Amino acid sequence: MITCRGLNMAKHLIVELEAVLLEKGKSSKDLVRATGHTTVNVSRIRQAKMRGIRMDTLMEICLELDCQPGDILKIVTDEEFDRLVEERRKTGEARVKAGLRRTAPERVYEIDLDLGGE
């Protein structure tokens, strides 16, 4: 549960960088080459293993992928989150069963906003 300006909201902040990369036909390595960011930093962003992102980094990623920040960072409800998790689980299982190459994200990457004790 995220508390924002005193309001209790059941929301999740998710990172959709993997989805945008797949949609644009690019890889994390392409993003590393184009932006000059390290493989580790791009991976952390893609997997939502960060607490924040510098605005210039977000802009560089968006410019390279020809997208908007809202395409990469999204706030979703509990219901949307659960639907995405289930949808992507099924997509992954079907892809593996059919022996196909990955063309859609198979996970939902949520930023952990628990700042300890809140």
Query: Per residue in 67-115, pLDDT tens?
Result: 999 999 999 999 999 999 999 999 889 888 898 888 888 899 998 876 5
pLDDT-derived band at 8, boundaries 50, 70, 90? low
State how far Cα 74 lies from the chain centre.
Answer: 8
Per-residue b/e over 54-85, b at no fewer than 16 CB within 10 Å? eeebeebbbebbebeeebbbbebeeeebeebe
- Encoded tokens for 71: 């395409």
Three-class secondary structure of residue 63 per DSSP: helix
